[in-house]
């Protein structure tokens, strides 16, 4: 038998050129065509299930060689290839169009891909996205769903879910498939959580999130938007009315920089800025009601995914954008692809700058940010990161808009109106995702602080399994 030829280079996915894409909010990466996906799938070595490091790196343990093999095996019949591949993915992940786009693959499934020893790692995220997109565009996901719906055995028990982000949506979907009556209570006027109000359209088109949510509705999930748990209804009331409760209320409270001038006009939290842009479609003002002021010089403080999304959104208003970060480039936590895209789009980066004052004009509007220059010290912090220290030298950068993106904490309303045990604002759960209150489970950013979509989904799945077991034991 002839030796298999190893193709070392990754098959690239087409992208829109930077000069074109900074003029609008349409998606940057166009994804694989079927032909390109097969070429990339053929590079995969199809490592055995029990060994494959990619499976171990995926927080929900998708059978990655399994789904990639289906694409290759049935490549003469694209619909069948995708149907088979999607069935494998759906066993562990019901939002592959989303995770294929936003997972930090370089730190997860792709991190230890064995192809990395001889060439480029397999582009698992883009293959997953391809399967999900092709399935959606050809109605294959609907077909698979309609195969599942008649097999569901309806149960009498009901579950309330708080929050319609990835954690809540996943828990809802899994429980609905088990036959439970599921109701989601969501504070905002649209479901989706950060997928809808945080991550911009050019990274994750909103019609994809809407489609995922419509599938849940087909499974019978009742989604009640504009319901703030803790105000419209309390957790205690939910406990009385439902057989179990899942809290997936996320981490939507922005942290602020506690320095003089932080209340000046023109300073936004990334949360407010992105919500106005994404959820309220401020970039389409006056077609949509919500306006947004974006000055000519924008400074973004922070270097995570939120900072990158804020910077790239601001850039699409045709303005000059600089990202500033108090550490060095090697500690930037945003996905590598987003940093690359941001740089291609002309966003500048300034490292080792820590804001110490926002300077305003006579009308109370920000006009500059004063920073202390930082440097690495020799000590490591508790997470093994090199500590930084001030140099005593300062610099001032002009800015008429500042966006603060230095992290978020779990939403406090639910915690303040319930009796859960919490630590540093995060709800504490046991190994079965149950909180200190019997029958109330939690997951996602509400228990972890700001984390990732796939970790939130993994929690939602795990909690749904635990809720199923809890309710079965209660019935006995
Ligand atoms: P959320 O997505 O925050 O959803 C919680 C939901 O609960 C929200 O809809 C909220 O309105 C609702 N809620 C809150 N309080 C109440 C209440 N009292 N009553 C009713 N409803 C309530 N992760 C990645 O993996 N990749 C990325 O590229 C990435 N980019 C990001 C970009 C931005 C701008 C942000 C902010 C985050 C990003 N993340 C990314 C992180 C990721 O989005 C989160 O980890 C994930 O969404 C957490 O899911 P969740 O369901 O726990 O919470
Ligand atoms: Fe990779 Fe995320 Fe898909 Fe898992 S869910 S295989 S980590 S892209
Ligand atoms: Fe394919 Fe890489 Fe996973 Fe091996 S580790 S199965 S080569 S994706």
Kindly provide the b/e burial profile for residues 130-141, where b requires at least 16 CB atoms within 10 angstroms of the residue's own CB: bbbbbbbeeebb
Neighbours of 322 (CB within 10 A): 19
- Residue 8, in any domain of the structure: no
CA of 108 relative to ligand 2 center, distance in Å: 7
If one residue of 59, 168, 246, 305 were mutated to test the ligand 1 pocket, choosing by the most ligand atoms within 8 A of its CB, it would be: 305
Q: CB of 453 closer than 6 A to ligand 1? A: yes
Q: Give the tokens for residue 165.
A: 């982000």
Question: Under a CB-based contact definition with an 8 Å cutoff, are residues 189 and 225 in contact?
Answer: yes
Query: Residue 171 belongs to a domain with what CATH number?
Result: 3.50.50.60
CB-based contacts of 370, cutoff 8 Å, min separation 6 = 355, 356, 357, 358, 359, 394, 395, 396
Q: How many domains are contained in the chain?
A: 3
- Residue 9, in any domain of the structure: no
For 184-195, the pLDDT digits (tens) are 999 999 999 999
CA of 110 relative to ligand 3 center, distance in Å: 8
Question: Under a CB-based contact definition with an 8 Å cutoff, are residues 445 and 306 in contact?
Answer: no
Q: How confident is the model at residue 476 (pLDDT cuts 50, 70, 90)?
A: low
131 and 53 co-located in one domain: yes
pLDDT of the residue at 415? 85
Kindly provide the b/e burial profile for residues 224-257, where b requires at least 16 CB atoms within 10 angstroms of the residue's own CB: eeebbbbeebebeebbeebbbbbbbbbbbbbbeb
Instruction: Select from 380, 406, 432 the last residue of a domain.
Output: 406
pLDDT of the residue at 409? 87
pLDDT of the residue at 134? 98
CA of 193 relative to ligand 1 center, distance in Å: 5
414 and 402 co-located in one domain: no
User: Looking at per-residue confidence, does 293 or 369 come out higher?
Assistant: 369
CB-based contacts of 30, cutoff 8 Å, min separation 6 = 13, 14, 15, 16
Q: CB of 162 closer than 6 A to ligand 1? A: yes
381 and 461 co-located in one domain: no
Instruction: Select from 129, 148, 167 the last residue of a domain.
Output: 148
For 80-104, the pLDDT digits (tens) are 999 999 999 999 998 999 999 999 9
For 252-290, the pLDDT digits (tens) are 888 888 999 999 999 999 999 999 888 777 777 777 777
- Residue nearest ligand 3's atom 3 by CA: 54
Q: Give the tokens for residue 402.
A: 């500042």
Q: CB of 197 closer than 6 A to ligand 1? A: no
Q: How confident is the model at residue 139 (pLDDT cuts 50, 70, 90)?
A: very high
CA of 111 relative to ligand 3 center, distance in Å: 10
Neighbours of 122 (CB within 10 A): 26
394 and 262 co-located in one domain: yes
If one residue of 10, 41, 46 were mutated to test the ligand 3 pocket, choosing by the most ligand atoms within 8 A of its CB, it would be: 46
CA of 51 relative to ligand 2 center, distance in Å: 17
**Does residue 1 surpass a pLDDT of 60?**
no
CA of 214 relative to ligand 2 center, distance in Å: 22
Alpha-carbon gap, residue 439 to 471, rounded angstroms? 9
For 211-255, the pLDDT digits (tens) are 999 999 999 999 999 999 999 999 999 999 999 999 999 998 888
Instruction: Select from 383, 406, 429 the last residue of a domain.
Output: 406
Q: CB of 102 closer than 6 A to ligand 3? A: no
From the CA of 454, give the closest atom in ligand 1. Answer: 25
269 and 369 co-located in one domain: yes
305 and 394 co-located in one domain: yes
For residues 421-427, average pLDDT: 92
The CA distances from residue 278 to 29, 157, 325, in Å, are 18, 36, 24
For residues 157-175, average pLDDT: 97
- Residue 363, in any domain of the structure: yes
Q: Is 310 helix (H, G, I), strand (E, B) or coil?
A: helix
Question: Under a CB-based contact definition with an 8 Å cutoff, are residues 267 and 311 in contact?
Answer: no
What percentage of the chain exceeds 90 in pLDDT? 86
- Residue 119, in any domain of the structure: yes
228 and 115 co-located in one domain: no
Question: Under a CB-based contact definition with an 8 Å cutoff, are residues 364 and 264 in contact?
Answer: yes
- Residue 4, in any domain of the structure: no
- Residue 246, in any domain of the structure: yes
Burial class (CB in 10 A: 0-12, 13-18, 19+), 179: middle
Q: CB of 173 closer than 6 A to ligand 1? A: no
Least confident of 101-115, 201-215, 281-295: 281-295
Containing domain of residue 264, as a range?
256-406
226 and 260 co-located in one domain: no
Q: CB of 10 closer than 6 A to ligand 3? A: no
């Amino acid at each position: 038998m002839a030796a298999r030829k190893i193709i070392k280079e990754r098959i690239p996915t087409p992208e829109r050129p930077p000069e074109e894409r900074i003029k609008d909010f349409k998606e940057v990466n166009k994804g694989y065509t079927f032909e390109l996906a097969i070429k990339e799938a053929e590079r995969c070595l199809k490592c055995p299930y029990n060994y494959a490091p990619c499976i171990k790196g995926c927080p929900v343990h998708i059978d990655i060689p399994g789904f990639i093999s289906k694409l290759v095996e049935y490549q003469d019949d694209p619909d069948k290839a995708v149907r088979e591949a999607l069935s494998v993915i759906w066993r562990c992940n019901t939002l592959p169009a989303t995770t294929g786009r936003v997972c930090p693959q370089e730190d997860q499934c792709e991190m230890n891909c064995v192809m990395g020893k001889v060439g480029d790692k397999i582009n698992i995220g883009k293959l997953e996205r391809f399967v999900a997109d092709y399935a959606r565009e050809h109605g294959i996901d609907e077909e698979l769903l309609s195969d599942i719906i008649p097999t569901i055995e309806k149960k009498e028990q009901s579950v309330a879910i708080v929050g319609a982000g990835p954690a809540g949506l996943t828990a809802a979907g899994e429980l609905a498939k088990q036959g439970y009556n599921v109701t989601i209570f969501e504070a905002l006027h649209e479901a989706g959580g950060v997928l809808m109000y945080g991550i911009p359209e050019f990274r994750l088109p909103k019609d994809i999130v809407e489609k995922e949510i419509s599938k849940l509705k087909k499974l019978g999930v009742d989604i009640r938007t504009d319901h703030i748990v803790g105000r419209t209804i309390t957790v205690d009331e939910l406990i009385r009315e439902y057989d179990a409760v899942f809290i997936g209320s996320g981490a939507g409270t922005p942290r602020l920089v506690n320095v003089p001038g932080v209340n000046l006009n023109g300073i936004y939290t990334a949360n407010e800025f992105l919500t106005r842009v994404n959820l309220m479609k401020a970039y389409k003002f006056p077609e949509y009601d919500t306006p947004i002021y974006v000055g000519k010089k924008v400074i973004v403080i922070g270097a995570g995914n939120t900072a990158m999304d804020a910077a790239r959104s601001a850039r699409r208003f045709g303005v000059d954008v600089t990202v500033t970060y108090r550490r060095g480039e090697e500690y930037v936590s945003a996905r590598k692809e987003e940093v690359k895209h941001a740089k291609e789009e002309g966003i500048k980066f300034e490292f080792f700058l820590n804001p110490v004052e926002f300077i305003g004009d006579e009308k109370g509007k920000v006009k500059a940010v004063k920073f202390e220059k930082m440097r690495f010290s020799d000590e490591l912090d508790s997470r093994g990161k090199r500590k930084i220290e001030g140099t005593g030298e300062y610099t001032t950068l002009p800015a008429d808009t500042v966006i603060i993106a230095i992290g978020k904490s779990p939403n406090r309303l639910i915690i303040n109106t319930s009796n859960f045990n919490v630590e540093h604002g995060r709800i504490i759960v046991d190994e079965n995702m149950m909180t200190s209150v019997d029958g109330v489970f939690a997951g996602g950013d509400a228990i972890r602080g700001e984390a990732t979509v796939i970790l939130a989904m993994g929690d939602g799945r795990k909690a749904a399994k635990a809720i199923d077991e809890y309710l079965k034991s209660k019935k006995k």
